[in-house]
Copies of this chain bind each other. A is one copy, B any other.
Amino acid sequence: MYPTVELAEIAFYQAFEDASVEAMMAVWSGAAEISCIHPTGTVLVSVDAIRESWQQIFAGGSGVTIQVNVLREYASATQVVHLVEEHLSVTGNTAQQGHVFATNVYQLEDDGWRMVLHHGAPAPRPQPTSRAPTLH
């Protein structure tokens, strides 16, 4: 399916932009104990719960454009972690934008790389000076 992590990640965000549940779930591992946290959401720990969450997100429908920057990559032979920055914008509506930090974990399976974890969280608006948060 996805011979490299990069192709799996491109497919993940393309499925997101296309609002395609089938394409989305094809990126996820069907074998492993996958998990997904959407920004401000709770933890989802089954294929069914994760599929349902994307169905609900995609039900809104209209086009979302996502720009993804990989901030860090942590790699071993069979597992790769990407810390990414997602800039989401609703097509044709520049007022509706989202800024998300996500940790994506991929594992090498028999037929290629698949996602096993997606942990997304709201990112703060960029600050002119860096300040540490007071709440852990």
**Which chain A residues have a beta carbon within 8 Å of chain B's beta carbons?**
16, 32-33, 35, 37-45, 49, 52-53, 56-57, 60, 64, 71-72, 74-79, 81, 83, 85, 88, 98, 100-101, 103, 105, 107, 116-117, 119-124, 126-127, 130, 132-136
Contacts and interface: CB of A to CB of B under 8 A. Distances in A.
A37 to B, nearest CB: 6
A72 to B, nearest CB: 5
Nearest to A127: B42
A95 to B, nearest CB: 14
B38 A133 contact: yes
| Count of chain copies | 2
Q: Give the top 8 A-B pairs by smallest Cβ distance, nearest first.
A: A121-B121, A41-B133, A76-B79, A56-B132, A53-B132, A76-B76, A76-B78, A103-B103
A10 B3 CA distance: 36
Contacts of A41: 124, 132-133
**Which of A44, A74, A130 has the largest number of chain B CB atoms within 10 A?**
A74
